Amino acid sequence: MLSSIWEQLLSWLKSLFFEQEMELAVLGLQNAGKTTLVNLFATGTFTEDRIPTVGFNLRKVRKGGVTLKVWDLGGQQRFRSMWERYCRGVNVIVFVLDAVDKERFSTAKLELLEILQRPSLANIPLLFLANKSDLPGALTDPQEIIQTFDLKSIKDREVAVYSVSAKNRTNIDTVLRWLIMHNKKPVKLNSNEQSNGI
pLDDT exceeds 50 at position 132: yes
Q: Residue 132 annotated as binding?
A: yes
- Active-site residue, 143 included: no
Q: Residue 174 annotated as binding?
A: no
The answer, as to whether pTM is greater than 0.85, is no
Q: What is the pLDDT of residues 73-129, one digit of tens each?
A: 887 787 888 889 989 989 999 999 999 999 999 999 999 999 999 999 999 999 999
pLDDT exceeds 90 at position 40: no
Candidates 101, 126, 102, 100; CA nearest to 113 is 126
Cβ–Cβ under 8 Å, residues 2 and 135: no
- Average pLDDT value for residue range 27-33: 92
Q: Which domains does the chain have, with CATH numbers?
A: 20-181 (3.40.50.300)
Q: Residue 34 annotated as binding?
A: yes
Please tell me the distance from the alpha carbon of residue 9 to that of residue 21, in angstroms, as a whole number. Answer: 20
Q: Which of 8, 20, 76, 77 is an active site residue?
A: 76
DSSP letter at 77 equals G
